[in-house]
């Protein structure tokens, strides 16, 4: 589904990603772990098409098409979704109107008609219930005055509404208490099918107890230095990253 080949990316002239190779197949959950500043969020942004980052080398292939040059909206139209680490507050646009606009713009780009109002309403009800969201919440301005947990839940709500093929969760777990973490990961798990894939980016092994990865990658200084199964996450939790850094130096 997603194939990243020798990806180099920089921001303001500074190279952050230094040759990433990554392949994700339908139905898989991948986790990317790594210390602060290793390039995790940059990787998420580059896949989603954030124009602040410049791809200097390599390709991002999504469903056999090279998407490296596509705009963020075009990538969304193809089924890529990024759950933001810091969702942006937008006063004056309600959660409901935002998601309606988003869904209908995606449909328009795919040559489909607007979703009928009653179908939209039903879907909004269903998916907000999945994430245990209050009705009142939906008429509030997007992310304005939301708590950290509410913002993350709202991200997963949008994911549920948009039903992406590839969902990238950028530090969706950080700052969540255990109840919010359960609701969020429960939501993510229920959205999993054999046809879609999830890329989880996290600091902490804790989330991976709930959203169980098939593959765990370790990102250090812009490169994936080790990949393994879920046991690797536990090892990182116990030993930290220094042993991997040492391995790097020795190699």
Partner 1 sequence: MKLKDKLMSSYLAFEEQVDIDHDIHQVRDEAIKFFETTGFPTKKLEAWKYTSLNSILKEDYSIFPKKEDAIDYKDIKKYLIHDIDTYTIVFVDGIYSSHLSRTTHDKLDACLMSSALNKPKYKPVVDKYFNKIAPKESMVALNTAFANEGAYIRIPKNVAAEKPIQILNFSTGNESALMIQPRNLIIAEEGAQVQIIERHQSLTENPVLTNSVTEVFVEKNANVDYYKIQNDKTSASLIDNTYIKQSRDSVCSMHTFSFGGKITRNNLNFYQHGENINSILKGVTILEGKQHVDHNTLVHHTQPNCESHQDYKGIFSDKSVGVFNGNVYVDRIAQKTDAFQSNNNIIIDDTATCNSKPQLEIFADDVKCSHGCTIGQLDNEALYYLRSRGIPKKEARALLMFAFANNVLDSVKIPEIKKRITKQIALKLGVELGFNL
Q: Which residues bind partner 1 (CB under 8 A)?
A: 48-52, 71-73, 75-77, 81-82, 84, 87-88, 90-94, 97-98, 100-106, 109, 114, 158, 162
- Cβ neighbours of residue 9 closer than 8 Å, sequence gap 6 or more: 15, 16, 17, 42, 46, 53, 54, 55, 56
Q: Which is nearer to partner 1, 63 or 221 (CB)?
A: 63
Checking phi first, is residue 22 left (phi over 0); if not, alpha (psi -120 to 50) or beta? beta
User: Could you tell me the smallest distance in angstroms from the CB atom of residue 181 to partner 1?
Assistant: 23
Q: How far is the CB of 162 from partner 1 (least distance, A)?
A: 7
With CA atoms as reference, report the closest residue to 27 among 212, 155, 207, 208: 212
* Eight-class DSSP state of 165: S
* Cβ 154 to partner 1 shortest distance, Å: 12
| Closest CA relative to residue 207, chosen from 226, 234, 238, 167 | 234
Which of residues 73 and 247 has its CB atom nearest to partner 1 in the complex?
73
Residue 117 Cβ, how far from partner 1 at the closest point, in Å? Answer: 10
How far apart CA 86 and CA 66 sit, in angstroms, is 28
Both tokens of 112, joined, read 């489909």
Looking at the Cβ atoms of 25 and 139, the one nearer to partner 1 is 139
For partner 1, the closer of residues 10 and 94 by Cβ is 94
* Smallest gap from residue 202 Cβ to partner 1 (A): 19
The vertex-169 CA angle with 166 and 173, nearest 5°, equals: 155
* Beta carbon nearer to partner 1, 48 or 218: 48
Chain centroid offset of residue 60 CA = 16
Shortest CB 144 distance to partner 1, Å: 10
- Picking from 101, 84, 71, the residue whose alpha carbon sits closest to that of residue 143 is 84
Question: What are 4's strand-pairing partners?
Answer: 22, 60
Decide whether 35 or 72 has the Cβ nearer to partner 1: 72
């Amino acid at each position: 589904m997603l194939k990243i080949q020798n990806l180099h990316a920089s921001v303001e002239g500074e190279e952050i990603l230094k040759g990433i190779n990554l392949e994700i197949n339908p139905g898989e959950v991948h986790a990317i772990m790594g210390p602060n500043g290793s390039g995790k969020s940059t990787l998420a942004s580059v896949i989603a098409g954030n124009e602040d980052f410049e791809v200097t080398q390599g390709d991002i292939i999504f469903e056999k098409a090279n998407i490296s040059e596509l705009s963020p909206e075009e990538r969304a139209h193809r089924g890529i979704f990024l759950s933001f680490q810091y969702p942006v507050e937008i006063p004056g646009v309600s959660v409901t109107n935002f998601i309606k606009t988003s869904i209908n713009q995606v449909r328009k780009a795919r040559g489909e008609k607007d979703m009928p109002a009653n179908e939209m309403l039903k879907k909004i009800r269903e998916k907000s219930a999945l994430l245990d969201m209050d009705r009142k919440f939906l008429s509030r301005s997007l992310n304005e005055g939301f708590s950290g947990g509410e913002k993350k839940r709202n991200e997963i709500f949008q994911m549920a509404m948009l039903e992406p093929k590839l969902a990238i969760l950028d530090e969706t777990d950080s700052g969540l208490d255990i109840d919010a973490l359960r609701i969020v990961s429960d939501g993510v798990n229920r959205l999993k099918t054999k046809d879609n894939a999830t890329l989880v980016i996290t600091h902490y092994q804790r989330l991976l107890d709930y959203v169980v990865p098939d593959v765990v990658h370790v990102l250090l200084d812009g490169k994936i230095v080790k990949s393994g199964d879920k046991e690797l996450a536990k090892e990182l939790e116990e030993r930290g990253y220094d042993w991997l850094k040492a391995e790097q130096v020795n190699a």
